[in-house]
Structure 1
Amino acid sequence: MNRHDLFGQIPYFWPDLNDEEYALYDCLVYTQDEVDRIREATRAVDAIFRKANRLLRTLPDETLRLLGYPEASLPFLRDKALPQETIIGRYDWIVKDGVIKLMEFNADTPTFIKELFDVNRYVTTAFGLNDPNANATAELKTELRKAVIAAWQRLNRDGTPKIVFTSHDDNIEDKWTTRFLQETLDLPSEFVPLDRLLVDVDGVYTPSGERVDVLYRQTYPIEHLVDDRAPNGDLIGIRLLELNQAKHVSLLNPLSAFLMQSKGVQALIWELYETDTYFDEAERQVIRTHLLPTYLEADPFLGQSAYVQKPAFGREGDSVILYAEDGVPFHKEVLQTYAAETAVYQQFIELPTRTTNTVNGPLATHYMIGCFCLNGHPSALGARAGSMITNNQSYYLAIGTPTHEGD
């Protein structure tokens, strides 16, 4: 089976993006023990983030501003709407020389879902490997249903909920990721593009006038939503958050997921670790083992270590800069969309490298491991391969395990 045949059999997938190769005809092989270790790290670190979220809800606005949260989001950040802090989050790991270190946590609107929960099995089968994500879609269905039930019960309404999934209609990755979640939920629901939702003073409505109870916005970030305006200038994004807060609609992921999204949270966790406050010794051991030193300024690294500057709410490597320990930059991403926003500074460890098979032949790539966490439960994992910084030009690389131990 060649690349075209492999990916051609998968419905509603995008093996190429912007006329460039995205999904690789290749597979990274990990032992089951290595997969288990990544998942255990994910489970342990997720507990740290969930505990940090409880603290974040008690902090004053001034502190939240320092961590990079948009001013318009502050009135909504302490709303604990659901028992779940987040439904679908993704931890991005450096897995190298037996060490597993966290780069960042995409708690609110992670993509890479269709690839790991669905496509991975096709690739591993083609390469004669086991799919480590074989049970992940069933786990996803369970957590989606639990979340929708909790979101519906929060509204305290009678009858059957109107469930709507939404994304930008012109972005194939966003749209088919969202449609995959809708298909996995397997309950009566509707897909409505973002620009066709009607956000009124008393609720959110479909184009046909049906009132929306649960609105799933997997790919629509809150930091963009708060700036959204209607053609007449109305702050339509803020209105949506107000409707959610007033229980006229329930948003998924909940706002508590956005609270964990800022990379400033990693700086807060590291400060609490260094000052030996809030976390017990077992939690401190998890932080020591799996988190990288992260601060809101670069000073601790000068003369000590190379470091990376990241925007608190950046995505796809945009605006990332790498510095040597003398403070001189040695790599800067071309896109600097978030350059003026709050940044964090994190110890730099170079990603591991491998020779990867591409349509243009073997290519030396760096790769990171993404592992999803579903309401506290580690789940599907896979790799992104590309340059020194994982960005929107990085490839999707499947992960498989040997069919027999020792292979």
Structure 2
Amino acid sequence: MNIFNSPQRKRLFQSMKMGWYNFAPIEEGTGIPLTDQETPYALYYCHQVLPQTIQEIQQASELVGSVLTQVWQIIRTLDEDTLLYYGFPEATIKLVKYDFLAPFCMRLDWCWNQEKGIKKVVETNPQTPSFWFECTDGNNKVARHFGLQEPDLNVQKTLKITLNQHVNRAALNLGKPVTDCRVAFTALNNAEDLGTMRWLRNYLESKSTILPLEYLGIKDGKYLFDQRTKKPIDILFMWYPVEWLIHDTDEKGERLWPALEQLIFENKIVIVNFGSAFALQPKSIFALITDLGYDFFSNKDAGTVWEYFPKTSLSATAIGNSYFAKPILGREGEGGFAVNSGKISVRSSNNDPWYTQQNYVYQELLEFPKLEIDGKSMTQVWGAWLYNNGHDKFISGGVGIRLSEGEITDNLSYWCPIGC
């Protein structure tokens, strides 16, 4: 059976309403998907894993979440010079320090190499919708298709409860019941991001709408609104990187950020998982954790840092002559490279200057596990979701596997469904 391209594969993922089972590059200028250049993303395959492995990754992720909760609180107390030192763009600092609604969710990426005894979280991704459906609904549906047990029966329930709790908290911050709030979901207008938002919206019990990012507007500095319907928005799920948004301009060439920031400060809009999530997005927060040292944390959290966090620094020499380097505001492997014994051993195939011209963070070099599939040895990365339980404690959600033909996971990596 062809795991990359077959009629059975197409039928399965279309029946799941997963419009991004293949990836198509977007034509610059028009925004139209180039379907003749599609590449496979979802594999027609289900990798069997032990339930204990899933439980262990989820438990480890919750321990990591406890550390990150503390780090988020610390970041909000740091002065501007310190935040600039750790790579936060100057335009984001007020928002990072202001946004008191704790992050709703995040995805952790793990090097979980049981054979080598390596279990390290390599980064946190609180501001992306990528790999969300796959870890929550997708694995379970593919597992059933292949006659395996679903990897986690509770992840949908966890998402629904925590999502609705967080929207109610947002409404409380606005001083009105959620039934009086207009809730909207938005993301980049592509199959994966907007498709994931359509899926996520189904878990919300309140009424909501969905719109592509380009239809967001600001009315005379008074409110955010949907340009199609002209209706105001009170609570927004905007899955779009803050570090991009601060540079965006309108059709007149004027920056959008100051007006949006002002609406947030005046409590005229609550954007879920926005400023607080961005506080944990820079890869440099792992360097901050290393710099804080074990003595800063409680015994339990210090044990988590020692066991699950790789040594990370803003200085390559502090790590040694073997490390992995990534841009502080890196995404999807862009600009990353590995140095082994003083020599570059592998470099990302994607090196956009926007990433490579950033300051870098350096992390101890880890050996990722390999998975033999379809006659190929692929690099395996685990993703694990965490949700705010309503009391600013992170609890585990779904997990999943991404596979890369190269050594660095990038935007062309495959989703490998799992079952038990």
Residue 49 (structure 2) aligned to one of 30, 41, 50: 30
In structure 2, the partner of 1:334 is: 349
Residue 322 (structure 1) aligned to one of 334, 338, 348: 338
Structure 1 residue 90 and structure 2 residue 103: aligned? no
Shift of 1:186: 3.6
In structure 2, the partner of 1:404 is: none
In structure 2, the partner of 1:212 is: 233
Shift of 1:244: 1.3
Distance 1:5 1:209, change over 3 A: closer
Shift of 1:32: 1.2
Q: 1: CA distance between counterparts of 2:242 and 2:125?
A: 13
Counterpart of 1:179 in structure 2: which amino acid?
R
What SS does the corresponding residue of 1:52 show, helix, strand or coil? helix
Q: 1: CA distance between counterparts of 2:286 and 2:20?
A: 32
What SS does the corresponding residue of 2:250 show, helix, strand or coil? coil
Counterpart of 2:260 in structure 1: which amino acid?
L
Structure 1 residue 289 and structure 2 residue 302: aligned? no
Q: 2: CA distance between counterparts of 1:183 and 1:351?
A: 35
- Structure 1 segments of 4 or more deviating over 6 A? none
Structure 1 residue 344 and structure 2 residue 365: aligned? no
What do the CA deviations read for 1:68-105 (whole angstroms, capped 9, x no partner)? Answer: 111111121112432xx211200100111243211101
Counterpart of 1:221 in structure 2: which amino acid?
P
RMSD after superposition: 1.5
Structure 1 residue 388 and structure 2 residue 407: aligned? yes
In structure 2, the partner of 1:144 is: 163
Counterpart of 2:152 in structure 1: which amino acid?
N
Shift of 1:294: 0.3
- Answer with 157-166 or 247-256: which moved more: 157-166
Residue pairs, 1:112-123, within 5 angstroms: 112-123=131-142
What SS does the corresponding residue of 2:107 show, helix, strand or coil? strand
Structure 1 residue 14 and structure 2 residue 12: aligned? no
Structure 1 residue 237 and structure 2 residue 257: aligned? yes
- Answer with 292-301 or 132-141: which moved more: 132-141
Counterpart of 1:226 in structure 2: which amino acid?
I
State the percentage of identical aligned residues. Answer: 28
Shift of 1:57: 1.0
Shift of 1:211: 1.3
Q: 1: CA distance between counterparts of 2:327 and 2:86?
A: 10
What do the CA deviations read for 1:277-331 (whole angstroms, capped 9, x no partner)? Answer: 421222111111101010001002334xx211011111110000111122x2121
Q: 1: CA distance between counterparts of 2:197 and 2:410?
A: 21
What SS does the corresponding residue of 1:26 show, helix, strand or coil? coil
Structure 1 residue 369 and structure 2 residue 382: aligned? yes
CA contact (8 A) 2:247 2:257 kept: yes
What do the CA deviations read for 1:41-91 (whole angstroms, capped 9, x no partner)? Answer: 100011001101111111111111111111111121112432xx2112001
Q: 1: CA distance between counterparts of 2:148 and 2:258?
A: 47
Residue 161 (structure 1) aligned to one of 181, 198, 201: 181
Structure 2: state its 5+ residue gaps. 1-6, 25-37, 389-393
In structure 2, the partner of 1:226 is: 246
Residue 281 (structure 2) aligned to one of 261, 264, 268: 261
Q: 2: CA distance between counterparts of 1:302 and 1:371?
A: 29
In structure 2, the partner of 1:311 is: 327
CA contact (8 A) 1:89 1:374 kept: yes
In structure 2, the partner of 1:124 is: 143
Counterpart of 1:210 in structure 2: which amino acid?
K
Equivalences, count = 388
CA contact (8 A) 1:116 1:133 kept: no
What SS does the corresponding residue of 2:170 show, helix, strand or coil? helix
CA contact (8 A) 1:14 1:172 kept: yes
Q: 2: CA distance between counterparts of 1:232 and 1:102?
A: 43
- What's the TM-score once normalised by structure 1's chain length? 0.92
What do the CA deviations read for 1:153-188 (whole angstroms, capped 9, x no partner)? Answer: 11114661101111122x111110111111221421
CA contact (8 A) 1:199 1:240 kept: yes
- What's the TM-score once normalised by structure 2's chain length? 0.89
Residue pairs, 1:19-58, within 5 angstroms: 19-58=38-77
